[in-house]
Amino acid sequence: MNIDDIKTVAVIGAGDMGHGIAEVALLTGTRVNLYDVKDEYVERGRDRIFSSVAKLVEKGRVPAELDQAIRGKLLKTTTDLAEAAADADLVIEAIPEIMSLKQQVFGDLDKAAPAHALLASNTSTMSITEIASATRRPEKVLGLHYFNPAVLMKLVEVIRAEGTSDETMQIGMAYAAKQKKVGVYVKKDAPGFIANRVNQAPAVLVTEIIERGEIEPEALDAFVRRMGAAMGPCELTDYVGIDVMVNVSNYFAEKLGSGYGPAKHLLSMMERGDLGKKTGKGYFDWPEGGRPEIDLSKATRKFNFLWPYMVQINEASKLIQEGVVDTMNEVDLAMINGFGAPIGPVAIGRQISKLDLIDGLEFLAKRYDKEIFLPTNRVRAGGHKF
Ligand SMILES: NC(=O)c1ccc[n+]([C@@H]2O[C@H](COP(=O)([O-])OP(=O)(O)OC[C@H]3O[C@@H](n4cnc5c(N)ncnc54)[C@H](O)[C@@H]3O)[C@@H](O)[C@H]2O)c1
């Protein structure tokens, strides 16, 4: 089997990610069967695709004929999982981040999809090997991890589970390339893969600083905004959802150690139901349909802008030590294309001397009582640059 055999893709889940993953496939002229559990969800996903493609036509980036083809014959919607999978060459799952749910759906897909079909998960953090264990075709199961919004973000982490075959990985990489995405080959399905794992380190750092009351959320966000970022870390956490942040942190803590877990104030916010944008209150108050007001004049002077990069570089070096990626460059590729960062942490790391990096990490590990920030052997040897 090769990439030319992928003619029909089934996308399972028509939510934020699923509709985007379906749209990206449709834009290459691939047939898509879009599934969700209720008519209203699948219709909402379809309408989001139609309006997004219409905007691309308006901007002259997509020919009107392709828009017509998508509306006419390329996109099929259904609430019947077996029907969605029946003629699929590739299935991509984008349902909620709950292992038991994903395993149940993969078990059903295994029965419903043709024997040759590849089954992929868009999970942000979870083990593809565990998901594949619900099927009798682990060699055909892989991770295809898109970033939000899938139409704009270029990264697709192509993830190898324990049983994934070379052929499946090659088709996964070719599928990303066909969509003009940047596919990064993830050799092992370690928690959070590359981009989310590397980002967890600064998330822990920032929440520890806030936990100790050293810097107020507004002062931190104002600082980061004044450095040129479109959104500060606290607003971003509100935007993603305090509950999502807590669940992801708990998952990292369970799999990698308690140091990756959520700070106490996040748990309190979750208990109070202050979940961020979706409830109108998180770190900040969110006006209906708008963004919180951040007073940029309140920018802190207590934050060293290199700290988040330092802990990211350290985390990236762990990925090499654990055999998840081959080179540090792949980490930068992932961070730039997954989150739209202008520059990756490794490129920044190349400008920092080994001693400064080691000193900085030891300082942060001690000050915030976090062993996860202690410099790795690779960093100590200067290998973070390669
Ligand atoms: N949102 C992000 O930023 C992001 C980024 C990358 C990956 N992901 C991952 O993508 C997956 C989907 O996330 P999302 O943000 O699109 O979620 P979402 O809640 O927006 O969409 C999930 C959809 O799956 C549907 N669904 C289909 N089958 C289901 C079933 N059997 N049980 C329950 N619901 C079912 C739901 O009805 C819903 O429409 C998750 O694994 C998530 O971790 C999310």
Reply yes or no on whether 124 is catalytic: yes
Tell me how far the alpha carbon of residue 93 lies from the centroid of ligand 1, in angstroms.
Answer: 8
Predicted pLDDT of residue 383: 79
Pocket, ligand 1, Cβ cutoff 6 A? 12-18, 36-37, 41, 94-97, 101, 105, 122-124, 147-148
Reply yes or no on whether 196 is catalytic: yes
- DSSP helix/strand/coil, 287: coil
Q: Which domains does the chain have, with CATH numbers?
A: 3-186 (3.40.50.720), 215-298 (1.10.1040.50), 306-385 (1.10.1040.10)
Secondary structure (DSSP) of 228-285: T-SS-HHHHHHHH-HHHHHHHHHHHHHHH-GGGSPPHHHHHHHHHT--BGGGTBSSSB
Residue 118 pLDDT > 90? yes
Residue 273 pLDDT > 90? yes
Q: What is the pLDDT of residues 346-368, one digit of tens each?
A: 999 999 999 999 999 999 999 99
What angle, rounded to 10 degrees, do the helices at 217-226 and 195-211 form?
130
Closest by CA position to 199, among listed 150, 264, 142, 155:
155
Structural tokens at position 359: 């000193």
Rg (CA), the chain: 21
| Ligand 1 site-directed mutation target among 23, 79, 124, 245, most atoms within 8 Å of CB | 124
Predicted pLDDT of residue 295: 97
Q: What is the pTM of this model?
A: 0.95
Asked if the peptide bond before residue 149 counts as cis, ω within 30 degrees of 0, the response is: yes
Which residue's CA is the closest to the ligand 1 atom numbered 21? 15
Amino acid symbol at 287: P
